[in-house]
Structure 1
Amino acid sequence: MPEHARDTRWSAARAWAWWEARDWVCGVNFLPSSATNFLEMWRAETFDRETIARELGWAADIGFNAVRVNTHFLVWQHDRDGLIARMRWFLETASTRGLDVVLVPFDDCGFGGAEPVWGDQPAPVPGLHNSRAVASPGRAAVMDHALWPGFEAYLRDLVASFGKDQRVLFWDLYNEPGNRMIFTPAGFEEYDAGLAEHSRALMRAAFGWARAEAPTQPLTVGAWQTPPVGSKARPFADEIDRLALDLSDIVTFHAYCDRACADRLIDQLAGLGRPMLITEWLARAVDSRIDDQLPLFHARGVGCFNWGFVRGRTQTHLPWPRTLVERHGRHPREGVWFHDLLHPDGTPYDHDEIALIGRLTGAGGRRAAR
């Protein structure tokens, strides 16, 4: 990373000016129900414009004002011009529905356990949550520094193309750097432990590469590592999380936990003195629920993006592996959706949840004083 990259981090005053120019941000993580992962979403052969447009419309109708979506390095590597054109279409389609877009270029969440491969994606594993999730550029690729010039070219191209586009809300440069989990029917396993140091270095480099293109939107990477239930460890104390918070223009984080836990995390991060957004939450089986947490985020002026929208090929309505749910001090509940809000025909899983989203987003962007 260039030595000046930290020095060009936005000031807190600039971050607050950006935040106060908009209503309270309430959005959803978006992957169309017809795609099993983001590689399938963005490939020309499986880029499902009809489903994407319909489901973005549903998001706007509910009251959301933003979506967060991952891109994928392999699509850029094999079809750069096509990816850029499809991203432009996506931004325009979202914008016409009143939705801003958060772009996520890198991601270590390869829960399916396989490295990403160009071409048709395999069908979901029956009964398994997010069974074909692949990382971008891929965990093995992150650990091969000979490939990094390509990652730099990818990120700088995306930021050069969209870094001054008003339809882009902010850049979430790297989703869950260092995440080593693999989901299996028997539980969860962990990928090679050497990933973290390479992910941390790539994240640091990504801030420098992106800032070199002078985007007008803020840059961030979310803190995401919270300790298991019963642990006395402080949340977001891992070196990757601390560096992410130190480099980010705005504070973003993940919190799949109950309301009391989410409130404590907000208290902890409020001391950083910057706008806050929770970029992943909602996991009903671990008591991360809309009925009690969405009002909390609204009252405290914290933007939010729940995980999962329309039940589909990711199968994220199913629970995480049982051992991971139990690590959170809970047990999967039969018949209760883990993530997701809508059935494939657009009807709500829970009408009260949808009504609450509409009431809070329709009420305007009330923020707590800082």
Structure 2
Amino acid sequence: MKNRINFSFRIAFVVILAALSPSIRAQQWTAKQANEWYAKQPWLVGSNYMPSNAINQLEMWQAESFDPKTIDKELGYAEDLGMNTMRVFLHDMVWRQDAEGFKKRIDQFLALCAKHKIRPMLVLFDSCWDPLPKLGKQHEPVLGRHNSGWVQGPGAVILGDKTKWESLRSYVKDVVGSFRTDERVLAWDIVNEPDNDNANSYGRNGTIKTELPTKQQLGVELVKAGFGWAREAKPTQPITAAPWNGDWSSLEKMNDMNRFLFQNSDIITFHNYAPPAEFEKRIRDLKQFGRPLICTEYMARPAQSTFAGCLPSAKTEKVGMINWGFVSGKSNTIYPWDSWQKTYTAEPPVWFHDIFRENGEPYLPAETAFIKKMTGK
């Protein structure tokens, strides 16, 4: 009788575990799992990618402006440099407009990436730049202004109304769930810079001032929710989101968001636009977590964040490197961040971001030669 009771108890316990599986099984990878995954990867080098003829995520992904021919050509430039990854931004509004069409275009993009031996990291949400995105034809770039048309996702209308967040959960679960075992996807980046307040563009010091006053806190809440939604989809790829400021020397010195990111990301990603010494300090700080490291934003030449300054130490430490900007185009990211305060009417003497001109000509041939040397291309 006792054995039968114990057996029944075990069966009931298993049933309870199965019912709770989203919250029990779908946890952060262990450091061992993360490092085993990373050991199978090459040294990851790539760029944050937006086609030169797209001003933002909407123009990249909407059916009427999605341009596989340009994407194919520009990913060829990346392959020629020896790049093997790209960080690419999706958008919830495009999914909401036509979920099946959007996923078909993602599949088409992944096929083009695979053709060029590139496995992208896909970004689900972004807290930077214009908080009022609109579907349809996008406006033309503002002359000389860095990221004059880049948009947030979700926009302020949804971010500021939590009764609308269920649609964001559906978006994450559908997109991640549809590609959860797809080996062409390197990783999922949940939210880009969740607590960025856009102070100098659309925020308190900006020229447009359309940012939500509670934006930073809402961004923190979104990234926490987003991790949970992504885990519900049970991806076989790692999930992450990158801190971009603050003290990372210990958990005790971190703010709430950074602490959450380090304690929940499967692999650690981070942003750093500082000179080499500060970049190397960030790497030392992050080694305490014993997880793979990928810098998903760097390279701002006037800020002394350069390929020559960062790639050698990163390669030594096997830190993945994804710079901002690839082909100069509608994003206007050859211009600096301060172009929101200053007027630039001609190409700056030193490009801020980007590697190639629209015709595929390198901005600095010596620089592309250096990248090839580092990648072994």
TM-score for both structures, normalised by structure 1? 0.89
The aligned residue for residue 229 of structure 2 is 209
Counterpart of 2:90, as a letter, is: T
The aligned residue for residue 281 of structure 1 is 298
In the alignment, structure 1 residue 10 sits paired with structure 2 residue 29: yes
The aligned residue for residue 329 of structure 1 is none
User: Structure 2 residue aligned with 1:154, among 171, 177, 186?
Assistant: 171
CA contact (8 A) 1:225 1:235 kept: no
Instruction: Give 5+ residue unaligned stretches, structure 2.
Output: 1-20
Counterpart of 1:272, as a letter, is: F
In the alignment, structure 1 residue 25 sits paired with structure 2 residue 41: no
Percent identity between matched residues is 38
Deviates more, 1:251-260 or 1:237-246: 237-246
SS of the aligned residue for 1:163 comes to coil
In the alignment, structure 1 residue 351 sits paired with structure 2 residue 365: yes
Quote how far apart the aligned CAs of 1:237 are. Answer: 2.6
The aligned residue for residue 221 of structure 1 is 241
Matches within 5 A, 1:102-117: 102-109=121-128, 111=129, 113-117=130-134
SS of the aligned residue for 1:321 comes to helix
The aligned residue for residue 14 of structure 2 is none
CA deviation digits over 1:57-113, x for unaligned, max 9?
11111110011100001000001111100000000100011000110011101x2x4
- Runs (4 or more) in structure 1 with deviation over 4 Å come to 182-185, 232-236, 322-325
Counterpart of 2:267, as a letter, is: I
Matches within 5 A, 1:246-285: 246-285=263-302
More helix, by proportion: 2
Cα distance in 2 for partners of 1:283, 1:233 equals 27
Query: For the structure 1 residues 235 and 163, does the alpha-carbon distance in structure 2 shift closer, same or farther, using more than 3 Å as the test?
Result: same
User: Structure 2 residue aligned with 1:194, among 187, 208, 214?
Assistant: 214
Quote how far apart the aligned CAs of 1:194 are. Answer: 1.1
Cα distance in 2 for partners of 1:220, 1:82 equals 26
Matches within 5 A, 1:232-247: 237-247=254-264
In the alignment, structure 1 residue 74 sits paired with structure 2 residue 93: yes
Quote how far apart the aligned CAs of 1:164 are. Answer: 0.4
Query: For the structure 1 residues 352 and 235, does the alpha-carbon distance in structure 2 shift closer, same or farther, using more than 3 Å as the test?
Result: farther
Matches within 5 A, 1:281-360: 281-321=298-338, 334-360=348-374
SS of the aligned residue for 1:61 comes to helix
Quote how far apart the aligned CAs of 1:139 are. Answer: 3.1
In the alignment, structure 1 residue 97 sits paired with structure 2 residue 111: no
Quote how far apart the aligned CAs of 1:236 are. Answer: 8.4
CA deviation digits over 1:244-267, x for unaligned, max 9?
111100110000110011011111
Cα distance in 2 for partners of 1:180, 1:142 equals 13
CA contact (8 A) 2:325 2:333 kept: yes
Cα distance in 2 for partners of 1:226, 1:355 equals 34
Cα RMSD (Å): 2.7
Query: For the structure 1 residues 101 and 322, does the alpha-carbon distance in structure 2 shift closer, same or farther, using more than 3 Å as the test?
Result: closer
Quote how far apart the aligned CAs of 1:183 are. Answer: 5.1
TM-score for both structures, normalised by structure 2? 0.87
SS of the aligned residue for 1:4 comes to helix
SS of the aligned residue for 1:105 comes to strand
SS of the aligned residue for 1:353 comes to helix
SS of the aligned residue for 2:149 comes to coil
Quote how far apart the aligned CAs of 1:205 are. Answer: 1.3
Quote how far apart the aligned CAs of 1:270 are. Answer: 0.8
Cα distance in 2 for partners of 1:132, 1:291 equals 30
Deviates more, 1:79-88 or 1:205-214: 205-214
Quote how far apart the aligned CAs of 1:149 are. Answer: 0.6
SS of the aligned residue for 1:271 comes to helix
The aligned residue for residue 9 of structure 2 is none
The aligned residue for residue 65 of structure 2 is 46
Quote how far apart the aligned CAs of 1:208 are. Answer: 1.2
SS of the aligned residue for 1:256 comes to coil
Cα distance in 2 for partners of 1:128, 1:149 equals 35
Instruction: Give 5+ residue unaligned stretches, structure 1.
Output: 326-332, 364-370
